[in-house]
């Protein structure tokens, strides 16, 4: 995905008064990473970002991984992590779980100017399933109960289109991650699975990244259903953090494309060539995300 970090709605009024020096209380800043891919690849991809954040914040940074999206939500609720990049559905779940104890800090924008992505249902390209109607009575996998593109959006839209997954498909299961769902389709464990693409043409997203990593072959999976555009979810911080720490985290994310292009690209696949676009503000991104989840 070619994304650009951009300022969204920072609800500063909900943040506590800044400590005299946040580093006195936060000698370690912990970043939560969701389970859209296998843990080994997650950790490897985030190492440059960890190094960048340590250098920028001036404190130790730890990466926190969980086997499910709910693990990140619970970690935010239990004050076990300070920041995480989550989808709209996971943000809404975290907001509910913490009784408003999380704050949307930043959203992202594509180089094209788009502020969203798409959920897709994929099947084997050489299989018999070419449209949703072909999946009646078949085994379909969703990624995670708290995944926006891997569950909430496709489930809701399929119901609206007359294909209630619990009634129309033969079985519905959670694969645990986007990559696991795609691998299950390739292996024949599932007839179809929900995942996401970053642009309508499918030039980036989970299937393309898996091809690039050698996890699946090019042309093994094809999309047979695409959702309406989903507004990008927010980089989220706990609402009880000192304002100076929140400002430092926000500043680090905003400066990353120019300050450390390698670290920026490692977590986003972002293109750092368009500096003007990178500074563009998206004031409606967070509202759009929440509206997408709520209705």
Of 230, 251, 276, the one marking the end of a domain is 230
134 and 226 fall within a common domain: yes
Q: Is the same domain home to 23 and 59?
A: yes
pLDDT at 88: 87
CATH at residue 252: 3.40.190.10
Its domain, for residue 168, covers 116-230
pLDDT at 19 over 90: no
What is the pLDDT at residue 20? Answer: 54
Number of domains in the chain: 2
What is the pLDDT at residue 27? Answer: 94
Alpha helix ranges (H) inside 237-284: 243-259, 261-268, 275-278
Contact 191, 138 (CB under 8 A): yes
Q: Is the pLDDT of residue 18 over 70?
A: no
Q: Which of 206, 230, 254 is the last residue of a domain?
A: 230
Q: How confident is residue 203, by pLDDT bands cut at 50, 70 and 90?
A: confident
Tens-place pLDDT, residues 233-251: 899 999 999 999 999 999 9
| Same structural domain, 121 and 215 | yes
Is residue 267's pLDDT more than 60?
A: yes
Residues 145 and 188 in one domain: yes
pLDDT at 111 over 80: no
218 plus 128 within the same structural domain: yes
Predicted TM-score of the model (pTM) = 0.75
Of 284, 233, 206, the residue nearest 85 (C-alpha): 233
Residue 184 near residue 208 (C-beta atoms within 8 A): no
Output phi, psi for 190, to 5 deg: -125, 150
Of residues 268 and 112, the one with the higher pLDDT is 268
pLDDT digits (tens, 9 = 90+) for 23-80: 999 999 999 988 666 777 778 889 999 999 999 999 999 999 887 889 999 999 999 9
Question: Residue 277: pLDDT above 90?
Answer: no
Give the domain-ending residue among 213, 230, 247: 230
Q: What is the pLDDT of residues 206-226, one digit of tens each?
A: 999 899 989 999 999 999 999
Minimal CA–CA distance to 129: which of 174, 169, 99, 92?
169
Does one domain contain both 27 and 80? Answer: yes
Interatomic CA distance for residues 165 and 184, integer angstroms: 18
- pLDDT at 167 (0 to 100): 97
**Under a CB-based contact definition with an 8 Å cutoff, are residues 25 and 19 in contact?**
yes
Tell me, yes or no, whether 158 and 261 share the same domain: no
Shared domain check, 138 and 193: yes
- Per the listing, tokens 């990008």 go with 232
* 131 and 277 part of one domain: no
Residue 236 to residue 166: CA distance in whole angstroms? 32
125-165 confidence digits (pLDDT tens): 999 999 999 999 999 999 999 899 999 999 999 999 999 99
pLDDT tens across 86-98, in order?
988 889 999 999 9
Domain shared by 57 and 149, yes or no: no
């Amino acid at each position: 995905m070619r994304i650009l970090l951009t300022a969204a709605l920072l609800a500063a009024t909900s943040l506590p008064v800044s400590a005299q020096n946040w580093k006195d209380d936060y000698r370690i800043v912990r970043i939560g990473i969701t389970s859209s891919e296998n843990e080994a690849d997650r950790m490897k991809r985030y190492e440059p970002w960890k190094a960048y954040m340590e250098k920028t914040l001036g404190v130790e940074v730890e990466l926190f991984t969980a086997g499910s999206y709910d693990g990140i939500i619970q970690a935010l609720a239990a004050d076990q992590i300070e920041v995480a990049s989550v989808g709209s559905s996971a943000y809404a779940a975290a907001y509910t779980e913490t009784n408003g104890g999380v704050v949307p800090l930043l959203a992202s924008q594509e180089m094209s100017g788009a502020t969203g992505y798409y959920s897709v249902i994929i099947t084997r390209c050489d299989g018999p399933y070419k449209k949703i109607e072909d999946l009646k009575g078949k085994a379909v996998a969703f990624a995670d109960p708290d995944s926006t593109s891997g569950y909430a959006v496709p489930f809701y839209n399929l119901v609206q289109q007359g294909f209630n997954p619990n009634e129309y498909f033969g079985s519905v299961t959670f694969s645990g991650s986007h990559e696991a769902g795609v691998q299950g389709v390739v292996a024949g464990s599932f007839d179809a699975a929900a995942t996401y693409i970053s642009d309508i043409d499918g030039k980036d997203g989970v299937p393309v990244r898996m091809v690039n990593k050698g996890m699946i072959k090019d042309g093994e999976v094809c999309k047979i259903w695409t959702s309406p555009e989903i507004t990008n979810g927010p980089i989220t911080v706990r609402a009880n953090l000192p304002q100076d720490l929140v400002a430092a985290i926000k500043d680090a994310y905003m400066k990353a494309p120019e300050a450390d292009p390698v670290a920026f690209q490692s977590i986003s696949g972002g293109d750092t060539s368009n500096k003007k676009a990178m500074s563009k503000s998206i004031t409606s991104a967070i509202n759009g995300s929440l509206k997408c989840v709520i209705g």
